[in-house]
Chains A and B, each alone.
Chain A
């Protein structure tokens, strides 16, 4: 059997695949953040709570209304996105002319309120969301057993990432969005309803978090704190990729997932910090992030 640094190739392939799965989660979450930041200049610290909300909405749909996984996968992001739209209309809108710090504090406070609310209602041990029947079991790849559901996670997240990238970079709607990022006043002068666009974009970014939440529900325990554990890593991913860079956040998300996977094999104790070490290095060498531009 071939070995790399004392680890067999088989084991290494398995760990890389798992890294890819985790990287897909990072990619979807950091993509949502990047879109919101790119257009609204808001650092959305409620993103983790919205991810949690997605998982809970799916769970509630299944438990109270008997809504199955597929409907949940569509419905939960819509509900969470709507929640985001209300949040933008009622609160965030008033902060655009102020410093970044205000938006950050508001979203951070909202995240705490949401988490506290769900903790009060459902406790901290969490709830179980069963893996949908179609994805029960898995396939033996020779080097590892790949549960069907994990394979689906990769497919679903990468498709969503690709579609989002395509819409923003290759369509007319995307062109408007990018124009609004560059110069909202000018775009408004051409008769485009920029405030509506901003609201909908925020809603979409938040819906992405909800989508990731539904994807995560069958894998992880659905708990009020599931988002706050993840959000710091995702923010680091966004910083490394370059704030607001769409492609950057996707590529960085996936590659950091892979890197973290490797760390878990060679030095597991460091797997919790490796992303932050990379973040510090990137900030030292390229302060705008790997794919970002200094404004």
Chain B
């Protein structure tokens, strides 16, 4: 009897653990323009988006003067916990009750897709920065969304092509076993094969996972020159750390397919040096990006990631478009957003396509050696600027029904 009670207590405990651990007329319609940042405030992506994204949005409002069309710009934020149902409910509440006009960031593809669907029904704008799936501008594209910062295709093209061109023509993938990982692995494998390389094998790893030694040994045994890490966040960090520990990086090269600058900061240059990766933004690119990033750093303890910079850039562009359109009606604002070029600290001559893809240059970078780095956050050498039209899926290949072909 005692045993039975114990087991039921135990079951309750497990369930608890899993539950926790376990994403109009002219003018402003309701007298105010309200910005909502929905992001991962405490989970795996909180450092690369989260509070930093919220700060970036607040900076955008301040820098724009806090006023658009003579009315105040208001700000709110929420934690979607990387769960699509929470994100969808919050979006509904924001649009229906809280007068939110635009939702920015969205840290995972699943939350992004869920919120886009609500925004489409309610005729509101979404500006996605951290979520990365190509579905956002392909099979699930909507007319009032912009995918601002990057997508898995751009990462694959940037890193995959460059690595093969540098002689890394045989690949082995260590893939996070869920939709994002599969998509990243698939996109990259296509690019590798198309560039004349060969995929020797892959291993699908349950998510999340802390010990990669077993999978790294399999990658080593494959004899591939390149080990592609189709995962993100702490999975990538642990894989890189352990690859160094097992001496794998002496004969094989790691290609991290989605790496943020906060990941590099967390790993340290000693461990991360030499890795190639693709990013949509690097703080030390030019005078404008440096100036903005330093202002950001003064208020946040780290330099901005591409996601956080993307949130700022997308909202600034949105405010300009509202002023130009003279209304906050979603379609009118979208038309204005598409008609204006994007020239700021994030992008040069960027533009928005009808599928919602913001086309801008991407950067292939290599992580510096500790001896090359002049100080904290001096982490990347830019090897190549990938022109926007080459980085993203061409309109011909896109499956979005909004693109006129």
- Enumerate chain A interface residues (CB-CB to B < 8 A): 8, 11, 14-15, 18-19, 21-22, 43, 45, 99-101, 104, 108, 112, 116, 119, 123-128, 130-131, 137-138, 144-145, 147, 149-150, 219-221, 223, 225-226, 228-232, 235, 239, 243, 261, 264-265, 268-269, 271-273, 283, 287-288, 294-295
Any A CB within 8 A of the CB of B234: yes
The complex places the Cα of A116 from the Cα of B43 at a distance, in Å, of 10
The complex places the Cα of A246 from the Cα of B6 at a distance, in Å, of 18
Q: Which residues of A contact B214 (CB under 8 A)?
A: 15, 18-19, 261, 264-265, 268, 271
Q: Are A128 and B266 neighbours in the complex by a CB distance under 8 Å?
A: yes
Any A CB within 8 A of the CB of B395: no
The complex places the Cα of A26 from the Cα of B45 at a distance, in Å, of 28
Q: Are B213 and A18 neighbours in the complex by a CB distance under 8 Å?
A: yes
User: A99 to nearest B CB, angstroms?
Assistant: 7
Q: Nearest chain-B residue to A22 (Cβ)?
A: B211
A100-B5, A125-B262 are known; give 17 further A-B pairs, CB within 8 A: A15-B214, A18-B214, A18-B217, A22-B211, A104-B10, A112-B20, A119-B42, A119-B46, A123-B46, A124-B43, A128-B267, A131-B245, A138-B246, A232-B14, A265-B218, A268-B203, A287-B3
Any A CB within 8 A of the CB of B271: yes
Any A CB within 8 A of the CB of B209: yes
Q: Which of B50-71 contact A (CB under 8 A)?
A: none
The complex places the Cα of A239 from the Cα of B234 at a distance, in Å, of 28
Any A CB within 8 A of the CB of B167: no
Q: Select the stretch in B133-141, B236-244, B397-405 that faces chain A.
A: B236-244
Q: Are B217 and A147 neighbours in the complex by a CB distance under 8 Å?
A: no
Any A CB within 8 A of the CB of B247: yes
Q: Which of B216-237 contact A (CB under 8 A)?
A: 217-218, 221, 233-234, 237
User: B226 to nearest A CB, angstroms?
Assistant: 19
Q: List 19 A-B contacts (CB under 8 A).
A: A11-B221, A45-B13, A45-B16, A104-B13, A108-B16, A124-B46, A124-B47, A124-B234, A128-B267, A145-B247, A219-B245, A226-B210, A228-B21, A232-B14, A239-B10, A271-B206, A283-B7, A294-B3, A295-B3
User: A269 to nearest B CB, angstroms?
Assistant: 5
Any A CB within 8 A of the CB of B265: yes
Q: Which residues of B contact A225 (CB under 8 A)?
A: 21, 44, 234
Interface flags for B3-27 (1: CB within 8 Å of A; 0: not) read 1011101101110111011000000
Choice from B5, B18, B209, B213 contacting A272 with Cβ under 8 Å: B209
Q: Which residues of A contact B205 (CB under 8 A)?
A: 268, 271
Q: Nearest chain-B residue to A270 (Cβ)?
A: B206
Q: Quick one: given A104-B12, A124-B47, are A149 and B217 in contact (CB under 8 Å)?
A: no
Q: Which residues of A contact B17 (CB under 8 A)?
A: 45, 108, 228, 231-232
Q: Which residues of B contact A100 (CB under 8 A)?
A: 5-6, 9-10
Q: Which residues of A contact B9 (CB under 8 A)?
A: 43, 99-101, 104
The complex places the Cα of A126 from the Cα of B17 at a distance, in Å, of 21
**In the complex, which of the residues A22, A123, A226 has the most CB atoms of chain B within 10 Å of its own CB atom?**
A123
Q: Quick one: given A125-B266, A271-B206, A294-B3, are A43 and B217 in contact (CB under 8 Å)?
A: no
Q: Which residues of A contact B242 (CB under 8 A)?
A: 219
The complex places the Cα of A57 from the Cα of B208 at a distance, in Å, of 24
The complex places the Cα of A183 from the Cα of B7 at a distance, in Å, of 22
Prevailing SS type, chain B contact patch: helix
User: A180 to nearest B CB, angstroms?
Assistant: 18
Q: Are A221 and B3 neighbours in the complex by a CB distance under 8 Å?
A: no
Interface flags for B174-212 (1: CB within 8 Å of A; 0: not) read 000100000000000000000000000001111011110
Q: Nearest chain-B residue to A148 (Cβ)?
A: B245
Any A CB within 8 A of the CB of B97: no
Q: Are A126 and B266 neighbours in the complex by a CB distance under 8 Å?
A: yes
Q: Are A220 and B238 neighbours in the complex by a CB distance under 8 Å?
A: yes
Q: Which residues of A contact B221 (CB under 8 A)?
A: 8, 11
The complex places the Cα of A99 from the Cα of B265 at a distance, in Å, of 46
The complex places the Cα of A232 from the Cα of B48 at a distance, in Å, of 27
Q: Which residues of A contact B12 (CB under 8 A)?
A: 101, 104
The complex places the Cα of A124 from the Cα of B20 at a distance, in Å, of 15
Interface flags for B259-276 (1: CB within 8 Å of A; 0: not) read 000110111101100000
Q: Which residues of A contact B10 (CB under 8 A)?
A: 43, 100, 104, 235, 239
Q: Which of B95-145 contact A (CB under 8 A)?
A: none
Q: Are A221 and B217 neighbours in the complex by a CB distance under 8 Å?
A: no
The complex places the Cα of A116 from the Cα of B5 at a distance, in Å, of 30
Q: Which residues of B contact A283 (CB under 8 A)?
A: 7
Q: Quick one: given A11-B218, A221-B241, are A108 and B13 in contact (CB under 8 Å)?
A: yes
Q: Are B204 and A268 neighbours in the complex by a CB distance under 8 Å?
A: yes
User: B294 to nearest A CB, angstroms?
Assistant: 20
Any A CB within 8 A of the CB of B377: no
Q: Which residues of A contact B215 (CB under 8 A)?
A: 264, 268
Q: Are A243 and B44 neighbours in the complex by a CB distance under 8 Å?
A: no
Q: Are A11 and B217 neighbours in the complex by a CB distance under 8 Å?
A: yes
**In the complex, which of the residues A119, A144, A243, A264 has the most CB atoms of chain B within 10 Å of its own CB atom?**
A264
